[in-house]
Structure formats: C-alpha cells, structure tokens
Copies of this chain bind each other. A is one copy, B any other.
Amino acid sequence: MRSSKTRKIKKQPPQPVDAGAQTLTSESPTQNLTLLALPPRELAVLEPHLEYVDLPQHQILHEPGARIDFAYFLNQGLVSLVILTADGKSVEVALVGREGIVGTPLAVGFRRGPHRAIVQIAGSGLRIKSDALESALSHAPELRALLNRYVLIQGMQVAQIAACNRLHEIEQRLARWLLMCQDRIASDELPITHEFLSQMLGAGRPSVSLAAGILQRAGLIENLRGVVRIVQRKALEESACECYRAIQSFNFGVGTS
C-alpha cells in the first residue's frame, strides 16, 4: 500500500480545461496520423468540430467509469491509459501518441471506459465532442474503418504488455517503456520522474531507481532530476525485451494477407 500522498497520481493545479482551445485553421495542419490518413472529404466532415487544445503534463483526459466527453487526436505528446486498483496501485496498459486516438470506446458508441487517460508528456492535439464524433462516424466510413483498426491494434499492444508484465523483469520493461516513449516524442530527453515510471510499470519506486541506475552505469541513459536522457538508443534496444519490437511491429505489418 502506498502512502496517501501518492495515492492520487498527481494533484492538478487548477486549470481550465479549455486553456488554449482554438479552432483548427488551414495554417496549422494536424500531425495526427489518423487524421492525415483520412480522405479530404471525410476530414472536411470532421474539421468544423475539431478544436485545438494544449495538453499540459499530468492533465487527465478521462477517468474510469466517468463520461467521456471528448476524443483526442494528438499532434505531439504522449498519453497513458492506466488501470487503477482498489488499493491505490496503478499500471499503464496502453500508450497513445500521434499515431492514434484517445477515447477509443467512442469508436463503437460507448460513452465510458475503464481506464484513466493521463498526459504523460505535454503536447497538443485536436479534440472533438463525443456527439459530434458519433454523428460524423455515420458519414465517414473510412474514419470508422481506421478507428476500428486502431482499436484492434491497440488491443494487440495491450496483450503484449500483459505478457510483458508477467514474464519480464523490471530492467527490461523499463527499457521498453523508455523506447516506446521516445518513439512518440521528438526529443531524447524524457521529462518524467521515477515515481511516475513506477506507476506506469506497476512497480515500486526503489525498483525503478535501481534499474535506472544500472542502465545509467551501463552508459545507456542518464538520470537527471525529473528527466531521463537516452544516450545510447541502440544499446537500449538490446537490453529491452522482445516486447518492444513486437509492439512496434503492430503499427504496420500485421494485416493485409
């Protein structure tokens, strides 16, 4: 059992959810891969309902069991889907960047989901109201197909994480997480604390610090205050488990024949 201080993952400084919201203009095209893959006609259907939002670190996009009011198409940054247990522990079960969408339940008409969606690395994105998305879906078959495909792929990734959680040790899992994180953001400096890492990996904080220390002494990463810098990307891949490559591979080659 964790202390009550860390039971809630992070106390939010009070900030209006609408901070930074503005309409998408043609001067600021999206970088979200799902939106980019849409045919122009369908993008035009969505566009009037898309709203630009900044996503500050640790902002919570939706809570387990609560209404999901928006779907988010990320431009940059990283969102974790997390399961919280009754005794205050937590594990990350999926990781979303600009390749996907936050709010998958909406893709099949559900308005609630069992996960917390929390911004791990600050970024930005376009959001759309649940109602607007649902009515758009009936006029956008390609979007529907893309989202359903993404739901399946995310399921595969979750399954791999399930196996990894059971079979692999913390050092390998830490390496995997750092790599998956770096794949989704530009920099090689990941602004994240060991405490947060421990909650993503479902491990104790000392275990994370220990594993991170080993990786640091091996010259693969560097532990700064609230920042992990990736020094030797290639070597880090070596010390990650097979799950890393497996999960990455799901983003393309699985389908079609």
A contact set with B: CB distance below 8 Å:
67, 81, 83, 85-86, 89, 91, 93-94, 104-105, 107-115, 145, 148-149, 151-152, 154-156, 158-163, 165-167, 201-202, 242, 246, 250, 254-257
Contacts and interface: CB of A to CB of B under 8 A. Distances in A.
Contacts of A158: 155, 158-159, 162
Give 3 nearest A-B pairs by CB, closest first.
Answer: A110-B255, A162-B162, A155-B155
Contacts of A108: 145, 148-149, 151-152, 255
Main secondary structure of the interface of A (DSSP, over half): helix
Contacts of A94: 159
Nearest to A249: B114
Contact of A166 (B111, B166, B242, B250): B166
Copies of this chain, whole number: 2
A112 B252 CA distance: 12
Contacts of A110: 149, 152, 254-256
A255 B109 contact: yes
